[in-house]
Structures are given as structure tokens and as C-alpha cells.
Amino acid sequence: MRLFVAAELPDEMFDALAETSALLRGCVRGRYVSPDSLHVTLAFLGEVEGFRVDGACGALDRACAPFAPFTASLGDLGCFGKRAKATLWQGFRKAGSLPELAQSVRGELRAEGLSFDEKKFLPHITLMRAADLTTGDLPMPQLAEGTVSSVVLFRSDLSGARPAYEPIHVVSLGA
Ligand code: ATP
Ligand code: MG
């Protein structure tokens, strides 16, 4: 199964992200991420055999144990890839403990013998895929601040019309 680990976004951020997404709809063509699927990926594992899922859950528990909930705030828009087919995202002005959390999760996955995409962690929330950024200007994104308080192991199902993310294991920070 296809797995990834993500931090859940605080409620305060969803309204801002939905507003930014609505502004983008007015000026950029592409595939929008549905608001209920927004997240910050901490580690992307990709295909993992079913019998290794317990190990991934244990790694997540250990990785998150030292962390308390923390404040983070949204920042500027950014993109990856080609301008005609970009991944468009909103970054963080204040990333709080996200970098340390990603490092901790990746370290425990490695210790468990689980591999993941090793690209350097850049905290971001993907808003659009295959975005055409060759024409026009981007709007100013809405900003918001909130408390990040949980980390989730998700299963990603790409077989349908839209990606579906199913939470497999949820860890509350500071619990
Ligand atoms: P689709 O691939 O159909 O556009 P998706 O990207 O939402 O859908 P997945 O590819 O399963 O679904 O990715 C799940 C999450 O992991 C997303 O946040 C995605 O950006 C991130 N991700 C996917 N591939 C990688 C990768 N190689 N390295 C880092 N993060 C990744
Ligand atoms: Mg993808």
C-alpha cells in the first residue's frame, strides 16, 4: 500500500487555505486539492508491504513522543516543477517544530528499516497540481496561525478519480 506521514493542519488554517484556493481558481488552471485533503507531508514512504505497517505505526509513536503541540503560521505561495505544469503550494512563515518533527519521523522510519523519499524537507501545503503558471500573476495568499497537534500515517489510494487519503494511525502530540 502507498503510505505517507503528514502533520494535520489546525482548523484556523483551513478557512485561509480555502480562501486562497478560491482566489487561485479565478486565475490559475490545474487540478485543485480538495480542502479536506490538505496536509503537510513529513515523509513519503510510497509502496510498503502490509506486514510492515505495525513497524511504521511504532516508529511514528516514538518519533512524536518528545513533541508538544506547537504554533505555526502560513506564509508565501511557492512552486515546484515546470511553470506550465507546476505543483503550487503555500509555505510557512513560522514552521514551529515541523522541521524537527520531520527529522524525528524520518529517523525512526530509518531505524525501523523503512525507506522514504530523501528529498530535503521543505514545509508546504500543496494546493494545486499541474498548475499552469505561464500566464498572469498569483494572488496574495491568506495568512493564518494555529496549533499543530497531531501527526497521521495515511494510506493514499490513487485508483479513483481523485486521490483518497485514509488515516491508518493518528498520534496526538503531548498526549
Ligand atoms: P497524485 O499523485 O495523483 O497527484 P497525491 O500527490 O495527492 O496525488 P500521493 O502521490 O499518494 O497523492 O502523495 C501523497 C502525499 O505525499 C502528497 O502530499 C504528495 O505531495 C506527497 N508526495 C508524493 N510523492 C512524494 C515524493 N516522492 N516525495 C515527497 N513527497 C511526496
Ligand atoms: Mg503525487
Encode pLDDT of 154-174 as tens digits. Answer: 999 999 988 999 999 999 999
128-142 average pLDDT score = 92
- Classify 150 in phi/psi space as left (phi over 0), alpha (psi -120 to 50) or beta: beta
54 lines ligand 1 (CB under 6 A): no
| CA of 154, closest atom in ligand 1 | 14
Report the CATH fold assignment for 2-172.
Cyclic Phosphodiesterase; Chain: A, (3.90.1140)
Ligand 1 neighbourhood includes 4 CB (under 6 angstroms): yes
3-state SS class at 106: helix
Nearest to residue 98, comparing CAs of 126, 117, 81, 73?
73
Q: In the predicted model, what is the mean pLDDT of the chain?
A: 96
The answer to whether the beta carbons of residues 89 and 127 sit under 8 Å apart is yes
CB 32 within 8 A of CB 17: no
Q: What is the pLDDT of residue 55?
A: 98
pTM of the model: 0.95
Q: What is the model's pLDDT at position 85?
A: 97
Tell whether ligand 1 has an atom less than 6 A from the beta carbon of residue 166: no
Q: What is the pLDDT of residues 24-75, one digit of tens each?
A: 998 999 999 998 899 999 999 999 999 999 999 999 999 999 999 999 999 9
Q: 3-state DSSP call for residue 88?
A: strand
For 99-119, what is the mean pLDDT?
98
Computed from CA positions of residues 118, 98, 163, 79, in that sequence, does the dihedral angle turn out positive or negative?
A: negative
Nearest residue (by CA) to ligand 1, atom 19, is 41
Q: Is the CB of 120 under 6 A from ligand 1?
A: no
Q: Which whole number is the average pLDDT over 115-122?
A: 97
| Predicted local confidence at residue 135, as pLDDT | 85
Positive or negative, the CA dihedral 22, 160, 158, 155 is positive
| CA 2 to ligand 1: nearest atom | 11
**pLDDT band at residue 152, thresholds of 50, 70 and 90?**
very high
pLDDT exceeds 90 at position 175: no
